[in-house]
Amino acid sequence: MTSGRSTTRMPVPPIAVRIAVIEALSATLRRFALEPADGAVLAPAAPGAHILVALDDGGGTVRRNAYSLIEPPDRLNRYEIIVRHAEASRGGSAYLHKRAGVGDILRVLPPQSAFPPVASARQHVMVSAGIGITPFLFYRRAFETTGGSWELHQCCRPDEATAFAGLADLDTEQRVHIHAGRGAFDLDAVLCRQPLGTHLYCCGPAGFMAAVRDRATALGWPPSRLHEERFGDTTAGTPFTAWLGRSRREITVGAHESLLEALETAGLEVPFLCRGGVCGACRVGVTEGGIDHRDRVLTEGERTAGDTLLACISRAAGSRLVLDL
Ligand code: FES
């Protein structure tokens, strides 16, 4: 399993953007177009890039929610994202669905991509579920330019099939396939007909991605040709405390926040990129305490050693960790 680029990024100043468009796609899906508030020209972004939107969780805590771009920002000088209103929202999607309006100013961190398509791939197969389609909408635009060979399989609820078909812009070459409802997608058939040199990209809920990964592995796909992007509340768990050994401070990590978020709230600067456990940028040393590893970066040897974790997604296995910070 590959995890995209390993470039690290220290926190950078956010930029102000104005909500230019809000479009309801379904009962729980909205498309947002964000323009630079100062009229500046947005820098290009790589396919698979996401932005981090700073949003108040309603309790005074500012969180950074990651949203994949669905279009190259230089096309219309906009960041375009799709947001699903999650029932368990900590404020991010609830704020954008219920309180945000056209003209409002948001603060975002510029796009970075930890999930780019592989340039040398002979064929690109994208498999997504629900809002997991978003990075592949950008991929598709890129393939129009590069001429890459591709197909996209989107699994969704029947009541959202029309919305996703509209987003994916069904093409005459039948490379876009919308699979509505349980049992509608024959994954084995798709995986078995691909030529050598095909790369498989998957984005969706954790269980969906695990099922695709397991099936591809069982059918002989090498890990180097499998790529995943995580999204959603993959950081939830039991609250715990972290003692920062070098700075002699203790922080509390809540049930619905990541260790990285808790460290940022405490004013510590920890490098990050994907915030989804796939790039390795937020590696932190651990000197004491069991770890619940949830990333897709560390080797089995590193997990067994137990002296490092990825702060954006992994947690304490018990009630306390001691960190080398
Ligand atoms: S920021 Fe990418 S693994 Fe944590």
Residues 25 and 106 in one domain: yes
User: Is the complex ipTM higher than 0.90?
Assistant: yes
Residues 106 and 19 in one domain: yes
User: What is the distance in A from the centroid of ligand 1 to the CA of 288?
Assistant: 21
Q: How confident is the model at residue 93 (pLDDT cuts 50, 70, 90)?
A: confident
49 within some domain: yes
Instruction: State the DSSP code for 284.
Output: E
1 within some domain: no
Non-local (6+) Cβ contacts of 190 within 8 A are 125, 127, 151, 153
Residues 39 and 136 in one domain: no
User: Does residue 282's CB lie within 6 angstroms of at least one atom of ligand 1?
Assistant: yes
Report the CATH number that the domain containing residue 105 is assigned in CATH. Answer: 2.40.30.10
User: Does residue 272's CB lie within 6 angstroms of at least one atom of ligand 1?
Assistant: yes
**Chain segment 122-172, per-residue pLDDT in tens:** 999 999 999 999 999 999 999 988 888 999 999 999 999 999 999 988 777
Question: Residue 8: which of 313, 305, 273, 278 has the closest Cα?
Answer: 273
**Chain segment 173-189, per-residue pLDDT in tens:** 789 999 998 888 999 99
User: Does residue 279's CB lie within 6 angstroms of at least one atom of ligand 1?
Assistant: yes
DSSP sequence for 134-197: HHHHHHHHHHHHH---EEEEEEE-GGGHHHHHHHHT--TT--EEEEESTT---HHHHHHTPPTT
User: Does residue 242's CB lie within 6 angstroms of at least one atom of ligand 1?
Assistant: no
User: What is the distance in A from the centroid of ligand 1 to the CA of 160?
Assistant: 31
Residue 190 predicted with pLDDT over 70: yes
195 within some domain: yes
Instruction: Kindly report the number of other CB atoms within 10 A of residue 302's CB atom.
Output: 15
Last residue in a domain, options 79, 113, 147: 113
- Mean pLDDT for all residues in the chain: 88
How many independent structural domains does the chain possess? Answer: 3
264 within some domain: yes
User: Does residue 268's CB lie within 6 angstroms of at least one atom of ligand 1?
Assistant: no
Per-residue model confidence (pLDDT) at position 6: 33
5 within some domain: no
28 within some domain: yes
Residues 130 and 224 in one domain: yes
User: Does residue 281's CB lie within 6 angstroms of at least one atom of ligand 1?
Assistant: yes
Report the CATH number that the domain containing residue 136 is assigned in CATH. Answer: 3.40.50.80
Residues 179 and 219 in one domain: yes
Residues 137 and 214 in one domain: yes
7 within some domain: no
Separation CA 129–CA 133 (nearest Å) = 6
Per-residue model confidence (pLDDT) at position 178: 96
Last residue in a domain, options 113, 146, 172: 113
Ligand 1 atom showing the smallest separation from residue 311 Cα: 4
Residue 192 predicted with pLDDT over 60: yes
User: What is the distance in A from the centroid of ligand 1 to the CA of 276?
Assistant: 6
Last residue in a domain, options 86, 113, 140: 113
Pocket test for ligand 1, best of 231, 284, 310 (most atoms within 8 A of CB): 310
Task: Name the closest-CA residue to atom 3, ligand 1.
Answer: 277
Residues 139 and 187 in one domain: yes
User: Does residue 309's CB lie within 6 angstroms of at least one atom of ligand 1?
Assistant: no
Residues 176 and 250 in one domain: no
Ligand 1 atom showing the smallest separation from residue 297 Cα: 3
Per-residue model confidence (pLDDT) at position 61: 65
How much is the average pLDDT of 46-54? Answer: 89
Separation CA 192–CA 188 (nearest Å) = 6
Separation CA 291–CA 262 (nearest Å) = 16
Paired tokens of 72:
């190259």
Pocket test for ligand 1, best of 235, 278, 293 (most atoms within 8 A of CB): 278
Residues 39 and 106 in one domain: yes
User: Does residue 29's CB lie within 6 angstroms of at least one atom of ligand 1?
Assistant: no
**Residue 84, domain extent:** 15-113
Residues 225 and 316 in one domain: no
**Chain segment 95-130, per-residue pLDDT in tens:** 899 889 999 999 998 888 778 899 899 999 999 999
Question: Residue 125: which of 160, 186, 176 has the closest Cα?
Answer: 176
User: Does residue 130's CB lie within 6 angstroms of at least one atom of ligand 1?
Assistant: no
More confidently predicted of 59 and 49? 49
235 within some domain: no
Residues 150 and 181 in one domain: yes
Residues 212 and 127 in one domain: yes
Report the CATH number that the domain containing residue 291 is assigned in CATH. Answer: 3.10.20.30
